[in-house]
Amino acid sequence: MGEQTVTPREGRDQVVRPSVTAGADVAPPPRPRRLDRLRTPRRPRLWFEILLIAVSYWTYSLVRNAVPEQRTAALNNADWLWRMEHHLGMAFEESVNHAVNSVTWLIVGMNYYYATLHFVVTLGVLVWLFRSHPGRYAATRLVLFATTAVALLGYYLYPLAPPRLMTGGDFVDTVMVHQTWGSMASGDLKHMSNQYAAMPSMHIGWSVWCGLTIFALASLPWVRILGLLYPVATLVVIVATANHFWLDAVGGLLCLAFGFAVARLWYGVQPYALPRTVPGKT
């Protein structure tokens, strides 16, 4: 008979141990870090969005109106900007203001456009994003919020009087002349708003945000065209009503570019490239 090889107890322990503990060496999949979870698009919650937008706009209005009304500096800056536009050969605001003001029905319509669509269209686009593009909603909303936040810095650092308040200009304050309601720029409501926060123009920042969002995500061609025409019409309105220089619009575009950069850094892609829908509870 051949010899039987008996594995000592110590040897058996050494043989068995790796097989028993092998499963323990396989680490469970790592849980997503909190920062990664925040960066992942999720289905927006209606109650939270309503609260966030309301609180954010209230805060924006409070901070904007809390910026000291530096009247002397604002008027000096307006004079300098007006001279700069003359130097560039592009000081056309006064001509547009007078030409449109001569057509009563047109300028009255523009006054109401300036006072209302700035809010109505922006909220409408947010609602449309919430309902039809929930995966892109948070990132696109971040663009708007970052744009608006950086604009506050501009109001503080560069107080600017609108053309209608310039001392040396011949601009027509169309709201005062035609006694239209709804504008925070003239009449009794002007005491509730900072009159020297013209740079940058958030009418342009918000309207271009709306236009680009509609153009990028709408499916109907005519709706996409309307999206592009909206900021163009807004530029005409802010100039015709003497509420802004065209250079204020450039400032609004720079703020919007900052907003897109923030969203791109946070999500890793531009908002419109994110998935249209995402799983999750409403």
> Tens of pLDDT along 230-244?
999 999 999 999 999
Give 227's contacts (C-beta < 8 A, 6+ positions apart): 210, 211, 212, 213, 214, 215, 218
Q: Calculate the average pLDDT of the chain.
A: 83
Confidence label for 280 from pLDDT (cuts 50, 70 and 90): low
Average of per-residue pLDDT across 135-144: 94
Is the pLDDT at 111 greater than 50, yes or no?
yes
Asked if residue 116 lies in contact with residue 183, where contact means CB atoms within 8 angstroms, the answer is no
CB atoms within 10 A of CB 262: 18
Asked if residue 257 lies in contact with residue 151, where contact means CB atoms within 8 angstroms, the answer is no
Higher pLDDT, 57 or 229: 229
Give CA–CA dist 243/270, Å, rounded.
32
- Which amino acid appears at position 47 of this protein? W
Task: Identify the pLDDT of residue 36.
Answer: 62
CB atoms within 10 A of CB 115: 18
252: left (phi over 0), alpha (psi -120 to 50) or beta: alpha
Is the pLDDT at 173 greater than 60, yes or no?
yes
Give CA–CA dist 279/197, Å, rounded.
42
Give CA–CA dist 275/246, Å, rounded.
36
Give CA–CA dist 90/181, Å, rounded.
31
Confidence label for 85 from pLDDT (cuts 50, 70 and 90): very high
Average of per-residue pLDDT across 42-53: 77
Picking from 184, 54, 194, the residue whose alpha carbon sits closest to that of residue 126 is 54
Task: Identify the pLDDT of residue 5.
Answer: 46
Give CA–CA dist 196/204, Å, rounded.
17
pTM of the model: 0.80
